Chain A
């Protein structure tokens, strides 16, 4: 049996495709949109990932190990001893920090303070700076900085100009001494938004005179061991690659979520292909019977249909890949922004066209098309020679499948549900479970549609006569068409509901958490970041009307195999209500926190590190390694990485660090917070350090704005899935209208006006839309439950309450009806315009 169609068969098949441009166009659009979403998300993810690794590699250079300092920094003398006494070279000291660029929006610049002479052995690209720049220029005042020439262009600066940066509440002028034009992509991309300075100048700018943030080493195992023996308290030795890897792994879950979403668009696209191919087979049954009668084998017919699928798959995929690349340029920006909001600073400005992404998209597109066409292709081979089966016989055959669909649907739902809860920490398994639930739900839609419309026929008949009965029965009678359309629509709408409810629940939980956490009236931090001057602090606390102030310090410390965010708070007893406990008894927890050196951990941190109340965390403190009992797990939606929360008293006992990054000030009873803020501003104006003042409601609004920004990409993907579904529904309804042209022509011959017929067709489409929307509600809620209860928890460590806003459900159902009605406008218009005589003549 050969699957290759004979040339004349192929020609007939091609002419059929070309003779039905609408059908062909919609099928191509379906494949193209599905593939485009998958390719775009993949490319955006890959680009972000590549941007990260290039930046990490450029900044790490050849270093094999890094000695990373704690909050107190590494003493400079330690590095000198390491180099001179222990003779450990190549080694290079680094002082690193972020500054703001006033006048350039919210942009940040990474300050990389290095010793250019020490760089040659570790980061040759930076070592080469010493060849073009006089070290004295870097140290002259204003302090010199070297940036990429491309960054200078974007900032509108040239060599010799000054650039103002803000850090620690002060503006600093930097003189640009050179613009780098690296030959290798690694440095050209990796050193973006980086200002290279001399280490002494960077220490001064970042307020770390005499201290280093890390020392990068090129060392073998034995040398590394020697270094390890000399590590000062609070610092730790890490393998350079692994540090970057750990950082990047944090974004894995986020990227996997995006990928799963993009696959959903492809699944909806597959429905479309199935529908198109089935329709093309049904439409040609007579022809196929004729071909069989003239000696065409089953294999050849199978080949014809699969060949058509391959043509559609290849063309659609090619268009999809091109569209995907275009879409990815938008998505890469959204992905980068989300990574910046949730994880770390990352600058990705261009798309990396990885052949892997393009090939994966192409294989998925063509593969999915062929798989979706298998069933209709098989159907084609079952056409008996000289068959002239009526539509009703076909539909009856289709209906015989309904019990099987119910069984398969229920089985998939059950399997999906099991997978959702089966594993402990995996993310792939519950995603597979969610897909099982979606597919199971989709399989149940046609039987559901059949049952409901049959039940509805008498009701609609009583209400609207034979048009009502025809509306309901027409949907049931053409189940092979309407069923697929309704399934595709229900899947897309359930995604709308699932994601909508998830985001809304998350937003509600987040807003409630903000309300509980933002217990102060005015928050004061240092403009451009960095610690607050002690003098400024005293001025602020002396202002009349200040009742209490929570002093906060945010640092990163070594915690075993990773680096943890440590938030240090001196919490006045009155501000304790700013923490909401997930586990742990508040009373004993607060006592342990204040008196016994216990810490709280945030929910995501507890999840990622598998911690519970009573466990201990081990930290590299300024006075050696120490362990701290976990007294409570608290809710926190600020970062997905999570954090450890420690009392200031405990912190200062272990670290020689009295700095304060921000103050949360509560106004005394009867004091107007706005007035207080004004007085605080006046008091701060006397000092040289610029401070940022924000009322609790401003922080709340800003945080929610960031939240919404984070979910923009989800919204975009959701819209794309809907677009694919609407295309699918349009294609199905168009097919249906073409098929029933004769039946409608009889109605017109019997005296039904064009408008009445348009109304009938629209009512039928609206019914399909309404029922699809209603079926999507339980499916969407199940999806939301899975996303909230399992996927989000495992991806980010956040727990949240399922909050179902009926408005979201109503909107989704309305969307479903609108999509179906909109998709039916053209078919209805076309039908209404067709002369009944013409339609009746086309037998």
Chain B
């Protein structure tokens, strides 16, 4: 019995001095992986839901085109096209695709994928206009961005 008593005298504290280090490691992980948003999005982005989504492997090949109703009142109610930080008209898209293609190496240029982030209230008319210009610019890979989920009838 005396043996047991001796053991119980040992300190039962869990050393917590390493805790900050662990937390810091997590913190650094998130700090490094976080990509701060480069663009301010000027249009409403209520991305529709879909079920059959596929992932794109190479992020460097993606260029984004945002379509939706402008957030600011001054730009009207009709959906507009935004690339980088500005609103553009469909006819400017060819130049946009060209600058995006120039950023890639020559071998990858025809693999460029245009990700269309379209608000779910936008009409097909503007989307078609964009697609027509993209065909002219020879950027034929399109991704309709969507969120995984089942569409619920309202």
A and B interact physically: no
B residues near A, CB below 8 A? none
